[in-house]
């Protein structure tokens, strides 16, 4: 399938989210026109105002109140040339929650977007899906170099065998693994007219440009930083804690645009990241704290 160059129209699902707002901005900066799905008129108006000065007339929004409903994107995909599906539930399960509480909406939300693109998006040539490192990080003993060939089947097996006793981490990772597998299975079984790319980033940090009304509305990774650096005394033990691999949200956004614009990335899982990070690294970038 050929690439989708600008000024093509791209649908960005969940456009008012932390990453998605940056994806919209990156697409506009490269000359695409963008339609974003949002859950409320207020969220859409915020984005329209945010982008109108630099990209007049290039952004529009449609309201999709519940992405977990079949056909949620049926109207949104009409007339677009590509889809960047970033909308997904991102939350930790409580100890009382069965894994299915995370897995079901993650998988179904992805499939609903793909089915809408396949049945109603007659112009859609490529779908880019925001996946995660979580679907790759199968545990290994000793040093191990992960690639796009790796899948985290361990977390899936944990969820299947342990049920509610599965740790929150593995419930989350299982949901991400199964949601991404659903993408590739859909292409095999349904054979849509479009191809697909998945983006697999680690923890995503960076500036906030989307609309938030309170600290409680922060995205998960930013909330974790706020809790660690604002609500916690910065003792040597805290600042030496390993936070895992990370990447700047703007780099993830650019990866989404590349996945739409480049023909050679069709059918790829893009494992991206900037390397490990510790709280001390963040302190050095935040002298006021």
Q: What percent of the chain has pLDDT over 70?
A: 81
Residue 244: is its pLDDT beyond 80? no
Q: What is the pLDDT of residue 224?
A: 65
Q: Which is nearest to 84 in space by CA: 143, 8, 139?
A: 8
**Secondary structure class of 11 (helix, strand, coil):** strand
Residue 114: is its pLDDT beyond 80? yes
Cα–Cα distance between 62 and 51 in angstroms, integer? 15
Neighbours of 2 (CB within 10 A): 9
The pTM (predicted TM-score) of the whole model is: 0.88
Residue 246: is its pLDDT beyond 90? no
Neighbours of 230 (CB within 10 A): 9
Q: Is residue 21 within 8 Å of residue 43, measured between CB atoms?
A: no
DSSP annotation of 254: H
Q: Is residue 164 within 8 Å of residue 96, measured between CB atoms?
A: yes
Helices assigned H by DSSP within the chain: 18-29, 41-52, 100-119, 153-162, 168-190, 220-229, 236-239, 249-261, 279-285
Cα–Cα distance between 35 and 15 in angstroms, integer? 9
Cα–Cα distance between 215 and 194 in angstroms, integer? 39
The pLDDT tens digits of the residues spanning 15-26 come to 999 999 999 999
Q: What is the pLDDT of residue 203?
A: 86
The pLDDT tens digits of the residues spanning 197-221 come to 999 999 888 888 976 766 566 566 6
Instruction: Give the chain's mean pLDDT.
Output: 88
**CATH of region 9-213+246-275:** 3.40.50.720
The pLDDT tens digits of the residues spanning 49-86 come to 999 999 999 999 999 988 889 999 999 999 999 999 99
User: Tokens standing for 251?
Assistant: 């780099």
Boundaries of every domain in the chain: 9-213+246-275
């Amino acid at each position: 399938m050929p690439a989708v160059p600008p000024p093509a129209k791209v649908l960005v699902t969940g456009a008012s989210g932390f990453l998605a707002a940056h994806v919209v901005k990156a697409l506009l900066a490269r000359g695409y026109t963008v339609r974003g799905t949002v859950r409320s008129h207020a969220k859409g108006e915020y984005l329209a105002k945010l982008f109108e000065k630099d990209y007049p007339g290039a952004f529009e929004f449609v309201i999709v109140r519940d992405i977990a409903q079949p056909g949620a994107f049926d109207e949104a995909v009409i007339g677009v040339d590509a889809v960047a599906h970033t909308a997904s539930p991102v939350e930790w399960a409580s100890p009382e929650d069965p894994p299915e509480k995370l897995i079901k909406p993650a998988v179904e939300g992805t499939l609903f977007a793909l089915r809408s693109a396949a049945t109603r998006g007659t112009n859609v040539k490529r779908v880019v899906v925001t996946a995660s490192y979580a679907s790759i990080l199968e545990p290994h003993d000793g040093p191990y170099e992960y690639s796009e060939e790796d899948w985290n089947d361990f977390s899936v097996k944990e969820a299947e065998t342990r049920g509610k006793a599965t740790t929150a981490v593995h419930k989350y990772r299982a949901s991400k693994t199964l949601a991404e597998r659903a993408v590739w299975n859909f292409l095999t079984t349904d054979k849509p007219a479009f191809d697909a790319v998945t983006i697999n980033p680690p923890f995503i940090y960076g500036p906030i440009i989307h609309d938030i009304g309170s600290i409680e509305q922060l995205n998960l990774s930013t909330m974790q930083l706020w809790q660690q650096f604002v609500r916690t005394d910065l003792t040597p033990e805290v600042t030496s804690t390993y936070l895992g691999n990370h990447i700047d949200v703007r780099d993830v956004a650019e990866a989404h645009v590349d996945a739409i614009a480049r023909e050679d990335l069709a059918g790829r899982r893009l494992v991206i990241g900037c390397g490990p990070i510790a709280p001390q690294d963040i302190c050095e970038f935040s002298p006021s704290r």
